[in-house]
Amino acid sequence: MNTLTIGTPAIGGTRYKEVKQAMLAALAAHEWKGGETIPSEKRLAERFGVSIGTLRKAIDELVADNILVRHQGLGTFVAQHQRDRHFFRFFRVVRADGDKTYPAVSLVSFKKAKATRELAALLNIETGARVFTFLNQLALHGEHVMTEHISVPESRFPGLTEAVLRDRPSTLYNFYQDVFHINVVGTDERVRVALADEAECALLGVAPGAPILEIRRIAYSYHQMPVEVRISHVNTEHYEYVGTSASHDEPL
């Protein structure tokens, strides 16, 4: 197996950056899949011809990027989307009092369509290429307060059907990972005010024309590859969008 021998520097400048890129390449090539363990640090250090310390520095960054997860005594794993881990890193709607809860998702519609020029540009695919588009209605604490219009390219989700989507056992991003080996590792989001249209107001529990929160998201896999476009609408009467936090002081 070609291990991207790192004899020639030139690319990354430093050894550990080269190692990091080589590991990202291995991840993108599905050599290690979501939830799987990767080889031990000792083995990887030998494979890439660096010391343990250098290899660890590469992994440090991949862990900081939420791409890998370390477990002492067990090994290092490809980060996996799970209900109880990282879910609220991507689901950022909470009740006004701060209470976080998992949404109950209902699939409202599902269809295959051609990408508009706009959508194609966001997904970095050809205009007119096939995409799957579906609509979710979400309930929090039993209240219907949110919808999601989601589009993914057929090329990266071959064989996706309404049935398999509806019957997925876990979260959507976990489903992407397990079935299509698509790892969502980051998103860009923009938030603005919009007005509920006739079709949506019933799903959101608001009157037609009522102001709602609109969140437009692009989700990325490794190497900033866009894999999903999502427009969410939220009735913010009792729920809010959580913006950026920061500062990770340790608890004393």
Partner DNA sequence: AAGTGGTCTAGACCACTAC
Partner DNA sequence: TAGTGGTCTAGACCACTTA
Nearest to 221 by CA among 111, 56, 65: 65
Which among 62-70, 115-123, 159-167, 197-205 is the span making contact with its own copies, rule CB under 8 A? 62-70
Q: Which of 4, 12, 26, 178 binds its own copies (CB under 8 A)?
A: 12
Nearest to 29 by CA among 160, 229, 183: 183
By CB under 8 A, is residue 185 in contact with its own copies? yes
Q: Which of 6, 139, 179, 195 binds its own copies (CB under 8 A)?
A: 195
By CB under 8 A, is residue 29 in contact with its own copies? no
Cβ proximity to DNA: between 57 and 181 the closer is: 57
Cβ proximity to DNA: between 42 and 112 the closer is: 42
By CB under 8 A, is residue 64 in contact with its own copies? yes
Q: How many residues bind its own copies (CB under 8 A)?
A: 45
What is the signed CA dihedral for 126, 128, 131, 137, rounded to 10 degrees? 120
Rounded Cα distance, 204 and 139, in Å: 9
Site mask, its own copies, residues 208-247, x = CB under 8 A? ---xxx-x-x--x-xxx-----------x--xxxxxxxxx
By CB under 8 A, is residue 27 in contact with its own copies? no
Phi, psi for residue 157 in degrees, rounded to 5:
-130, 55
Half-sphere exposure of 57 (CA within 13 A, CB side): 10
By CB under 8 A, is residue 71 in contact with its own copies? no
- Long-range CB contacts (< 8 A, 24+ apart) of 112-116? 112/154, 115/151, 115/153
Cβ proximity to its own copies: between 157 and 222 the closer is: 222
Site mask, DNA, residues 6-35, x = CB under 7 A? --------xxxx------------------
What is the signed CA dihedral for 195, 200, 206, 210, rounded to 10 degrees? 10
Which residues have C-beta within 8 Å of that of residue 125, sequence separation ≥ 6? Answer: 115, 131, 153, 155
Interface residues toward DNA, by CB under 7 A? 14-17, 38, 40-43, 49-54, 56-57, 70-76
